[in-house]
Amino acid sequence: MGSQWTKDKIYKKSVRDGYRARSAYKLIDINERFNIIRRSDNVVDLGAAPGSWLQVLRTMTDGQLLGVDLNPIVPMENVITVTGDFTAPDIQQKILELMPLVNVVVCDASPHLSGAKAYDQARIMALNEEALRLTEKLLKQGGNFVMKSFQGVDFNELVDLVKERFYSVKVIRSTATRRGSTECYIIAKNFIGDADDDRKQTTE
């Protein structure tokens, strides 16, 4: 895609296609390349506002969808939305109650950036680790996980943590990511899970 993804072009395309944000194309690109989502999958989207990934997910699966964000998500048909901080225990409890069996977790969350590089990177890593911890509670054995991150201090350690929990892990740049950005996506497939946890066994 390269240079066609200028701010103006991608913005106009997202408006034309009816997406709430240009990030929609990142998930489309990831799913085309890595087949993360199957037709019957139940999916949780962490950091989902304004909701373009939920719009894309709705076309990819007939399963249950839940999106959570600090900011309210304008309601969508057949999508559960939760307003709150997914790192907070009460919100995590609510998500677990609403979505007890999840095949896929996607996380495009990023904290509000201050511009102070080291501080921002530390906050991103902390948010990513919390998303991974929640994903472990939500995901069925064999499930998939996609998480936005930023390459920098402690990133390799984060990837190592993910590798301990999934059979296949890749770090990629989306073709829809702006040039020069350190943004990347961790694509983790086939959750190892806990063989003794009946709730997490695959039902296929």
User: Distance between CA 26 and CA 89 in Å, rounded?
Assistant: 29
Contact call for residue 36 and ligand SAM (CB under 6 A): no
CA neighbor of 37 nearest in space, from 162, 163, 202, 189: 189
Q: Which of residues 118-157 bind ligand SAM (CB under 6 A)?
A: 127
- 3-state SS assignment for residue 88: coil
The answer to whether 21 contacts ligand SAM (rule: CB under 6 A) is yes
Q: Which of 17, 31, 34, 70 binds ligand SAM (CB under 6 A)?
A: 70
The single residue listed with the structure tokens 């904290």 is 111
Give the nearer residue to ligand SAM in terms of CB position, either 20 or 140. 20
The response to whether 108 counts as a known ligand-binding position is yes
Q: Does the annotation flag 69 for ligand binding?
A: yes
Question: Count residues contacting ligand SAM (CB under 6 A)?
Answer: 23
> Which residues 77-116 are close enough to bind ligand SAM by CB under 6 A?
85-87, 108-111
- Select from 66, 68, 102, 186 the one that contacts ligand SAM (CB under 6 A): 68
Catalytic residue numbers, as ranges:
148
Q: What is the DSSP string of 174-186?
A: -TTSPTT--EEEE
- What is the closest distance, in whole angstroms, from the C-beta atom of residue 81 to ligand SAM in the complex? 11
Does 29 bind ligand SAM (CB under 6 A)? Our answer is no
Compute the distance between CA of residue 8 and CA of residue 121 in angstroms, rounded to an integer. 28
Is 45 part of any known ligand binding site? no
Dig out the tokens for 164 from the structure.
């301990």
Least distance CB 144 / ligand SAM (angstroms): 16
Contacts of 187 (CB under 8 A, 6+ apart): 30, 34, 36, 144, 146, 169, 170, 171, 172
Alpha carbon of residue 122 to chain centroid: 19
To the question of whether residue 51 is assigned a binding role by annotation, the answer is yes
The distance of Cα 99 from the centroid of its chain, to the nearest Å, equals 15
Is residue 76 part of the contact set for ligand SAM (CB under 6 A)?
Answer: no
- Binding site for S-adenosyl-L-methionine: what residues are annotated? 51, 53, 69, 85, 108
Interacting residue ranges for ligand SAM, rule: CB under 6 A: 20-21, 23-24, 47-53, 68-71, 85-87, 108-111, 127
